[in-house]
Chains A and B, each alone.
Chain A
Amino acid sequence: MIGDGQANVERPPTYEELFEEHGRRLDRLCRLLLADREESREVVQEVFLKLHQAHSQPQPPGDWGAWLTRVAINVCRDRHRAGWWWRFRRRSDRIEDATLVSREPTPEEAAISKETWRRIWVAFRGLSDRQREVFVLRHLEGWPTETVARTLGLSAGSVKRHLFRAIRHLRAAAVGGSA
């Protein structure tokens, strides 16, 4: 039994455990970056397909969480580069679905004034792709500046500049002013 316990501590996480641990987080991350529920689901599926392939590699990554985030960001970027016509076609096809979205506000939404909630989302969507990526990784994922810079292929100074612009823009939305 003791031997089994030691084996459990050292064994790498299974595919199912990684999916359970990171699935929802990656879905939220992709939705923030892509602003499209369907597309973010597709991206998450693609990311876990890559995880399935990488999981059986002889030398798997040490930090699966960081690896999954990096892959998700790269796939989101690929989607952005895929071309506006493809995105336009997909979105145009689903225009009827979007008009059906209607629901009651959650308690969190009710706590924040509706206007503030709307302003923050508008401001977030007004950020550039780079500012959005930096803000999400630094403030929502809680990564250190150096890791964000390494992941996005930027210098630390550049990350700080993008982050400053994003913070200024979003803070203005939160307090009701203009950036």
Chain B
Amino acid sequence: MKRCLSDKALMRLQAGDGSAEQRAHLSACGACGDRYRRVDRELETVRHVLLHTDEPSMLVVARRPSWVPVAAVAASLVTLAVWGHLAVRRPDAPASAMRPLPDEEASVFLRNVSLTMFSIDGRLAGSGPDIQVGGLPADTLDRAADCEWPEWSATGACGEAPDTGRLLNLFEPPQNDL
């Protein structure tokens, strides 16, 4: 190596780093040797200050933490809380699976369920006047709705004697399917 070492290279050598070539140059070059010793003297000054002098009191005071980090953390938390609150209450937020149904919608839904449960041959029980349940007249169910068990009978109005034979027909398949 013919060129003199840079300051950076000298400090690397001070730190125990640097290549063998740089070390060889340092031992051969008088100018670089002088510069290296100057760096050493400067570091000796640093050592002396750190070992034998007290730290300036103003540094101790200046290093004391201020309210800035505390305020920054608090502001972040408040922002997060406000954002979370707004996100939950946003009107255009996607509908939740747990959204309660309106009364009207619920009643339509329940009616459909009950009609489906009492459907016969795929036809809804309340879908037309021609539908008969197990051979009963169409108005039987309407009349039965006005009665309370056990007063209701399959044939008559409230208070009449029940006709159990007709009632059992409810659970038998219609004749025309056979």
Secondary structure dominating the interface of B: helix
A28 near B42 with CB under 8 A, answer no
Size bracket, chain A contacts? 35 or more
Give chain B residues whose Cβ lies under 8 Å from the Cβ of A116: 45, 49
Q: In whole angstroms, what is the CA distance A91 to B63 when docked?
A: 10
Q: In whole angstroms, what is the CA distance A42 to B60 when docked?
A: 18
Given contacts A163-B16, A164-B15, are A112 and B60 in contact (CB under 8 A)?
A: no
Q: How many residues of B contact A (CB 8 A)?
A: 31
Segment among B22-30, B50-58, B145-153, B168-176 that sits at the interface with chain A:
B50-58
A168 near B60 with CB under 8 A, answer no
B47 near A139 with CB under 8 A, answer yes
Of the candidates A28, A95, A101, the one whose C-beta lies within 8 Å of that of B57 is A101
**Distance from B68 Cβ to chain A, minimum over Cβ atoms (Å):** 11
Judge if A54 is at the interface, Cβ distance under 8 Å. Answer: no
B64 near A91 with CB under 8 A, answer yes
**Distance from B72 Cβ to chain A, minimum over Cβ atoms (Å):** 12
Of the candidates B16, B42, B51, B65, the one whose C-beta lies within 8 Å of that of A88 is B65
Q: In whole angstroms, what is the CA distance A156 to B42 when docked?
A: 24
Segment among A14-22, A55-63, A71-79, A117-125 that sits at the interface with chain B:
A117-125
Of the candidates A36, A87, A124, A164, the one whose C-beta lies within 8 Å of that of B50 is A124
A174 near B42 with CB under 8 A, answer yes
**Distance from B36 Cβ to chain A, minimum over Cβ atoms (Å):** 12
Judge if B157 is at the interface, Cβ distance under 8 Å. Answer: no
